[in-house]
Amino acid sequence: DVKVTQSSRYLVKRTGEKVFLECVQDMDHENMFWYRQDPGLGLRLIYFSYDVKMKEKGDIPEGYSVSREKKERFSLILESASTNQTSMYLCASSSGGSGGNEQFFGPGTRLTVL
Amino acid sequence: RKEVEQDPGPFNVPEGATVAFNCTYSNSASQSFFWYRQDCRKEPKLLMSVYSSGNEDGRFTAQLNRASQYISLLIRDSKLSDSATYLCVVNTPLGNQFYFGTGTSLTVIP
C-alpha cells in the first residue's frame, strides 16, 4: 500500500513565524503535490514537483515555497505565516511522467495561524 | 471561469435511492478524469477513474461526455456508508496539474 505521511496532524503557529510542513511518500513516486483545502473553495494547488530539485508553481504559490532534496520528501514552507494561511494542507504523490495517474494523499495538516 | 465546477449539494437521499452527480470542466484538452471520495476530516481517496467509454464498478457508474465537457457519477442502491463528499478531478496535459471541484456532499438517510 502506498503511504503518504505528513509531519503533523494539527499545528498552531503565530503570525510571522516560519512554518515547515513535511511530507514523505514510500512508493518511489516521481510527482508530489501540496494543496490547501478551504470550505467552499475545494482543493487548490500550491506547488508541485515532478522530480528531485524540480518545482512548479500551482495556482496559489504566493506566501509559500517548497523544497525537494530527496525523491521521497517534499516540504512546504511558509516564510512568514499569516492568518489567511489558516487551512487544511494536504500532500499527495503520484507515479508517472505524465501525471495522469491516481494521486495518493496524506492525512493532512490542519494549520491555525493566530 | 473555474477549471472544474460541480454542484456542492447537499444531496440527502434515502437508503436504496439512485443519485447522480455531474461535473463540468473548462479545458477541452483535459485528458484524465477521476472521482474521489472524501470522508469527514479525512483525506481524499480515489473512487474511480473515468474512461471515455464509461465504466462501472459495482453500484457506481462513471460517464464522460467530451463534447459537452462533463463527467458524471451515478450511485445505485445507496448505502449509509456512501455518505461522503465526492470530488470531481480533471488532469490537464500541461504541467502535471490536477484540478479539483469543490465537492458534492451526499448524505444517505436511513
| Cell triple for B67 | 463534447
Task: Render pLDDT for B25-77 as a digit per residue (tens, 0 to 9).
Answer: 998 888 889 999 999 989 999 999 998 888 999 999 999 999 999 999 999 99
Q: Which residue is listed with cell 496535459?
A: B93
Q: CB distance from A34 to chain B under 8 Å?
A: no
What residues of A are in contact with residue B34 (Cβ under 8 Å)? 102
What confidence tens digit (pLDDT) does each residue in A29-63 have? 989 999 999 988 889 999 999 889 899 999 899 99
- Alpha-carbon dihedral A97, A100, A106, A112, rounded to 10 degrees: 100
Residue A79 contacts by C-beta under 8 Å, 6 or more apart in sequence? Answer: A18, A63, A64, A65
| 8 A C-beta contact, residue B72 and residue B63 | yes
B49–A48: do the CB atoms touch at under 8 Å? no
What is the grid cell recorded at A64? 509559500
